[in-house]
Amino acid sequence: MGKEITFVMIKPDGVRRGLVGEIISRFERKGFKIKALKMKWLTREEAERLYEEHKGKHFFEDLIKFVTSGPVVAMLLEGDSAVEVVRRMIGPTDGREAPPGTIRGDFALSKAENIIHASDSKEKVWKEASIFFTKDEIVGDY
């Protein structure tokens, strides 16, 4: 419980399909505060760092190609139990199984191209955020 920050990234398919506004709007309406926001085209090195834990898996190469295929939109969101609540709002990895009402459930029909990524633990938040943001790009309280 208590104020928590999580990292979220709208993947190239979400950006290409024009879903950036819809997705940010869902988080704002839920009550999360945007603490940092950036559009960026990841390099291969940055993408490999972001998905380090999946290195060696059969889908790793496709994942890196996909996530560097266009710009992504990254953000830091602040709110109560942010890590867990945001994960619940995005839904399970496979869009075909994600329940309606979740972001993947409403907009994705694939396991690989699943619109959005969010940190799955508090420990991962700063590791992932550091690929996109410096400390001075995170706003103070407002």
User: Annotated active-site positions, please?
Assistant: 117
Give the range of 33-41, 74-82, 112-120, 123-131 binding ligand CMP by CB under 6 A.
112-120
Give the helix/strand (H/E) hosting 46.
Answer: helix 44-50
Q: What are phi and psi of 13, to 5 degrees?
A: -70, -35
| Contact call for residue 97 and ligand CMP (CB under 6 A) | no
Strand stretches in 3-141, DSSP E: 3-10, 33-40, 72-80, 116-118
| Contact call for residue 108 and ligand CMP (CB under 6 A) | no
Toward ligand CMP, which CB reaches closer, 79 or 95? 95
Q: Could you tell me if 34 and 76 are in contact, meaning their C-beta atoms sit under 8 angstroms apart?
A: yes
Q: 129, 40, 17: which is closest to 77 by C-alpha?
A: 129
Toward ligand CMP, which CB reaches closer, 3 or 57? 57
Q: Which of 6, 68, 102, 114 binds ligand CMP (CB under 6 A)?
A: 114
| Contact call for residue 111 and ligand CMP (CB under 6 A) | yes
Q: Which of 15, 78, 117, 129 binds ligand CMP (CB under 6 A)?
A: 117
Q: What angle (nearest 5°) sits at the alpha carbon of residue 34, between those of residues 32 and 36?
A: 150
Which residues contact ligand CMP by CB under 6 A?
54, 59, 63, 93, 111-112, 114, 117
